[in-house]
Chain A
Amino acid sequence: MKNFAYARAQDADTAVQLITQNQNAKFLSGGTNLVDLMRENIEQPDHLIDVTGLPLAQVEELPGGGVSIGALVRNSHLAANQIIRERYPVLSQAILMGASAQIRNMATTGGNLMQRTRCYYFYDTDARCNKREPGTGCDALEGFNRIHAILGASDDCIATHPSDMCVALAALDATVHVTGTGVERTIPIVEFHRLPEDTPQIDTNLQPDELITSVELPALPFARNSMYRKVRDRASYAFALVSVAAALEVEDGTIKNVRLALGGVAHKPWRATEAEKVLTGAKADEEIFKRAAAEELKAARGYKHNSFKIELAERTIVSVLKTLASEGGAR
């Protein structure tokens, strides 16, 4: 690991100041992604600003029924939170299906949003990777691309965003609160991560001097009927090949409200707006679930080793909606 200077910030303003004053600086939270990448010499910051001491580790109910999640809330703490488990089960389930207990004890909300891709070629410093070294090319395009994107990819990058938590956040319409030099702003979760286009080295729309302070979940009463399903090569540790986060409200057999997002398929958590359009107001049955899934995946493009993901995503969507329709109907 390359040597670096280290500083600990006790409040958000100091953290932002430190990141602006120092060149090539990075925030450090749980370290489960950054320390790993630094040891592989993929990330080589000259300065680390440790933000684990910031007073942003609370989950708080907001007036009106929403919830605010501090950027330093650990993944295990969030998944176990009673309010989250009752009102947004999809989020709790998504977190618990990721990584291991030890990693969830370390990983933070902010770090999870900012984690980098698990593309093998991004990790392999002998391979060509436009995300790691812009302009070198992408070895995944013609390589072993089983875990890669089928939606929204570009000729420069077909990496996926690996987070489970973020897929649930995308379905729940979360907003990310950030603070920069003299400005605070909120970014809707679907605009937080970006598609690769010809600048895959940029994962998100967060500016380099901006700190994530919290994530806000809006009140969404029907999210009590929500769930996460993750399809992967083995039952623990593995990242999603395809995952589905959904919330569904059915009234008198008709879909009144639906939120649907996919993981493992794109450079960002994929909000399935095309499918939602087909579903909203329609009769809740398997036929419409299939039609909605097909509509969402119409734009999908498979590569040599990952074409299976297109059908897998469709089937997983249908299966999740069926489960939610029967459970929601029973209530």
Chain B
Amino acid sequence: MSRKPKQKAHIEFTLNGETAEVAFAPHKTLLEVLREDLNLTGTKHGCELGECGTCTVLVDRKPILSCLMLGLDVEGREVTTVEGMNEGAQLHPLQETFADTGAAQCGYCTPGFLLVAKELLTKNPNPTREEIKEALSGNLCRCTGYIKIYEAVELAAAKMRGESVELPKESVYGYE
């Protein structure tokens, strides 16, 4: 396959479980293709330098930065964005606990955190706080101070393991 400049690129890939076809200017990043050509604005534009993680999506079930990947690169691959996390009307447990605990404030960083956490819990259903911190260390949040985010992931993990969970009591330092 070879393409000359100016021609539109045309690719097919799996997007949130369904086949997607899209045509776009070949120099666009995956982030731009998702937002501008597929109208999936859940994935956010942040630094576009690889430093903030808010543009994270899963490609072949691995978290990657869509601001540093060309749209052309996902041809034939499997992409999951935050729009693909819920099952019909049912939110993903992480989405529920992020909402319940206030792990999302302005919410700009949330899609990235959710996808990285989803991948973490698939690989490791019972992560320690340290493992959660390490997994989420590529994502920046300017609002929450992270503690509620870690707690939301822990709560979601417990829910997904089938344990009954109650929201712990809140303090200024998070939940006790």
Contact = CB atoms under 8 A, between A and B. Distances in A.
Interface of A: 1-8, 18, 28, 30-32, 35-36, 38-39, 46, 50, 52, 76, 99-103, 105-106, 236-237
Interface string B42-79: 00000011110100100000111100111011000000
Nearest to B120: A101
Given A3-B6, A102-B56, A32 B27 contact: no
A103 B26 contact: no
A100 B50 CA distance: 9
B2 A3 contact: no
B9 A32 contact: no
B5 interface: yes
27 contacts: A3-B6, A3-B26, A4-B26, A5-B3, A6-B9, A6-B26, A6-B72, A18-B2, A31-B68, A32-B50, A32-B68, A36-B68, A38-B27, A50-B72, A52-B73, A99-B138, A100-B137, A100-B138, A101-B137, A102-B50, A102-B53, A102-B64, A102-B116, A103-B65, A103-B138, A106-B65, A106-B68
Nearest to B69: A31
Interface of B: 1-6, 9, 25-27, 29, 48-51, 53, 56, 62-65, 68-70, 72-73, 116, 134-135, 137-138
Contacts, number: 84
Given A5-B4, A102-B116, A102-B138, 12 more contacts: A2-B27, A3-B6, A4-B5, A5-B3, A5-B5, A38-B27, A46-B5, A50-B73, A100-B50, A103-B50, A105-B64, A237-B138
A7 B2 contact: yes
A67 B3 CA distance: 37
Contact of A35 (B1, B25, B63, B68): B68
B49 A36 contact: yes
Contacts of A105: 62-64
B175 to A, nearest CB: 24
Nearest to A103: B50
A30 B62 CA distance: 13
Nearest to A33: B68
B4 A31 contact: no
Contacts of B116: 101-102
A99 B135 CA distance: 12
> Which 9 pairs from chain A and chain B are nearest by CB?
A100-B138, A7-B2, A3-B5, A1-B27, A105-B62, A236-B137, A102-B63, A102-B138, A102-B65
Given A6-B26, A102-B53, A237-B51, A31 B70 contact: yes
Nearest to B5: A3
B47 to A, nearest CB: 11
A40 B5 CA distance: 19
A237 B138 CA distance: 8
Nearest to B9: A6
B135 A101 contact: yes
A249 B144 CA distance: 47
A184 B50 CA distance: 34
Contacts of A46: 5
A6 B2 contact: yes
B25 A3 contact: yes
Nearest to A235: B137
A50 B69 CA distance: 12
A4 B27 contact: yes
Given A7-B1, A102-B116, A39 B64 contact: no
Contacts of B6: 3
Nearest to B48: A39
Contacts of B137: 100-101, 236
Given A1-B27, A4-B5, A101-B63, A106 B138 contact: no
B1 A8 contact: yes
A35 B69 contact: yes
B2 A5 contact: yes
Nearest to B4: A5
A28 B64 CA distance: 16
A102 B30 CA distance: 14
Contacts of A1: 27
Of listed A8, A28, A31, residue having the most chain B CB within 10 A: A31
Given A1-B27, A101-B137, A236-B137, A6 B3 contact: yes
A19 to B, nearest CB: 13
Contacts of B29: 35, 39
A53 B85 CA distance: 28
